[in-house]
Amino acid sequence: MPPYVVKDKCDGCKGKEEPLCEQICIGDLMTLDQESGKAYCRSLRDCWDCMSCTKICPKGAIEQRIPYQLGYHGAKLIPMIGTDSITWTCVDINGKVERFTYRTRNKK
């Protein structure tokens, strides 16, 4: 169920009004829970899993998941963003690990 916020890692973007995931989510789905000070997705069903929040989180606190309607539990897709590069690590449900690293066209 996309996206999953790992509470230990999330720091609520240091308590600013809008954490980065909230600023970037095009569906207005990510927001800060006032009580815990951590981010969460307010409607998992509406998420389009574009992964913008996953990529922008400075603490790497968001894990992307596939809705159970579509795929089984336990697979992972982890982006590591460099200045003009991105490295994806994909782990399937059988534990097979694949890594893809290539240049992006972002201006450094």
Partner 1 sequence: MPAMDSDKKIGIYLCTCAGEIERTIDVNLLAKEAEGWRGVAVARKDVLLCSVEGVSRIREDIERLGLDRVLIAACSPFFKEEEFSGLGVNNYLIERVNLREQCSRVHTDNPEHAAKKARVILGISLEKVRCALPLQALQVPGEKSVLVIGGGVAGINAALDIAGTGHEVFLVEKSPFLGGKVAELHRYFPRMCPPSCGLEQMVLQLRANPAIHILTSSQVDAMNGSPGNFEMSVRTSPRYVDAERCTLCGKCLDACPREAVAYPESFSYPLAPAIKRELCADNCTACAESCPADAINLDEEEKINTIKSGALVLATGWEPFDPTPLTELGYGRLENVVTGLEFEKIAGKQETFLRGLKCIAFIQCVGSRDERHLSYCSDVCCMVSLKQAILLKEMNPDSEVYIFYNDIRTPGEYEDFYQKARQAGVIFVKGIPSELKQGETKGISFSVFDTTAGEHLEVSADLVVLATGMKPSDGIEELREKTGVVLNKNNFVESHLQCCPQDTRRAAIFSAGCCKAPMDVSRSIESAGAAAAKALRSLAGGIEVVPDHSVVNTLKCDVCKRCIEECPFKAYALDEKGFPKADILKCRRCGICMGGCPLAAVSLGELSIEQLSEMIDAIDRSYLGEEEPLVLGFMCKNDAYRAADDAGLRGIQYPPNFLGIMVPCAGAVNGAIIAKAISTGIDGVFIAGCPDSQCHYVQGSALAKTRLNDISNKLREMYMEPERVRFAAVGRDEPEKLAQTITDYVRELRGMGRNPLRL
Partner 2 sequence: MWMCPFNVGTGYAVGVRAGAEFTLMEQRWCAARVKDFTGPVDTISVGYKAKMINGKGEMILQERYAHLGGDAAPRYIRANAPMNEWSEGRGPTFVDTRHLSPEQVRDLKIDYLNERPTYVLFLAARGQDPAMEPLEIYGSDPYIVGGHTGSGYWVDVDRMSTHRGLFAAGECAGGMPNKFVGGCAAEGVLAARGAMKYIASVQHGNIDENQAAAEKERVFSPLLKGLGMEVKYNIPAGQDQRGQYDGVTPEEMEERFQRLMDEYAAGVGQFFKCNEEQLNYALKHIKMLKEQVDRLFATDLHELVLVHDVIDRLDVAEVVVMHLRERRESRWPGWQTRTDYPGVDPSLDCFINSRKNLETGEIEMLKRPYEQILPGSRTSAPSPIPLSAEKA
Q: Is 76 in the site for partner 2 (CB under 8 A)?
A: yes
Based on CB atoms, which residue is closest to partner 1, 13 or 30? 13
b/e burial code for range 32-71 (CB count within 10 A of at least 16 → b): beeeeebbbbeeeeebebeebbbbbbeeebbbbbeeeeee
Distance separating alpha carbons of residues 90 and 7, to the nearest angstrom: 22
Of 5, 10, 13, 25, the one binding partner 1 (CB under 8 A) is 13
Q: Active-site residue 48, yes or no?
A: yes
Give the binding site for partner 2 (CB under 8 A): 2, 26-28, 31, 42-46, 48-51, 64-66, 69-77, 79, 86, 88, 90-94, 96, 98, 100, 102
